[in-house]
Amino acid sequence: MAAVPNSSEFPIIRPRRLRRTAALRRLVAETRVHPSDLVLPLFVKEGLTEPAAISSMPGVYQHTVDSVRKLAVEAAQAGIGGLMPFGIPAVRDAVGSGATDPNGILNRTTRAIREEIGDDLVVIPDLCLDEFTDHGHCGVLREDGTVDNDATLVRYAEMGRCLAEAGADLLGASGMMDGQIGYVRAALDESGHTDTGLLAYAAKYASAFYGPFRDAVDSQLKGDRRTYQQDGPNATEALLEIDLDIEQGADIVMVKPALPYLDIVRAAAERSPVPVAAYHISGEYAQIVAAAEKGWIDKDAAILESLTSIKRAGAGIIATYTALEAAALLR
């Protein structure tokens, strides 16, 4: 007869029991990502006749309005939560006039998506001027080249009304101007768009990981955006920004980027009475794809691990270029 191990010398509690099979691991999983948690950012470029590949983001394209219609149907069938379109105009100017042209590329795209899929997806166009300005900044510039915060708010309000009329469910307020949520909220309400919500890029950091995105939108930026986007070392400031946006009427608050700022995602989730989102950005996507192409990592596993970590940190909504791939993997 085998001797019974002495309990003082042998582990009685064995956490590995619940890791033994994939079925057991699924049963006890504490964090689950669902396709409906995911929002797909997409790019639509005026003047294209067919989708154009983005070299720094393999698998991601600049679309035509027609190809976005097809993508919207695919996204709805995949069961993801929404689409986040960014427009790339043929002509840019100092004040981003294309942003408030009812027939401008972003307004046309928003209408096209709404016509194609109705209410099957949440449509969240970008509310910012950087894609539309010839200087690449997110706002109107003063004569000395600095961004004029309050003059920019007037343009955001005009842009917000246009996008609401085009059928947006939420406006992705990404410019990081002081007071932008309150100003746009008031403008929407005064124009009768009380049902159009605001997704505030409440804690948007000046990041080294935005490079591929700037390729995707043909950015005209010279210099950087550090005078209005947040400084990486600061966490308390992020919480102030989040609190201010909530006070001003944000329906959802977002942290961007996601992975380098999971501590901010967690802090936001612990204090926010509204849903918290995080943006798994272009540079994070490009790292995964590039390493996978080299054979250094398993792309599918890296995608799911990244998204799970963002969800575990507290984000209920994740904007990610992997949305369609992830939805298929999660099924």
Angle at 282 between CA 40 and CA 62, to 5 degrees: 65
Q: Are 135 and 141 in contact (CB under 8 A)?
A: yes
Per DSSP (E only), the strands in 8-130 are 38-45, 52-53, 61-63, 82-88, 122-123, 126-127
| Number of C-beta neighbours around residue 55 at 10 A | 10
Active-site entry in 45, 256, 294, 299 = 256
Query: CB-based burial of residue 110 (10 Å sphere; 0-12 exposed, 13-18 middle, 19+ buried)?
Result: buried
- d(C-alpha 114, C-alpha 120), whole Å: 9
At 32, list the tokens: 């689950």
**Alpha carbon of 184 to those of 8, 159, 266, 321: distances in Å?**
65, 9, 27, 27
- 45 catalytic? Reply is no
Query: Position of tokens 């849903």?
Result: 275
Active-site entry in 204, 294, 299, 311 = 204
Angle at 328 between CA 326 and CA 331, to 5 degrees: 105
- 222 catalytic? Reply is no
Among residues 30, 28, 7, 8, the alpha carbon closest in space to that of 17 is found at 28
Strand partners of residue 43: 62, 86
Question: Does residue 127 sit in helix, strand or coil?
Answer: strand
Catalytic residues: 204, 256
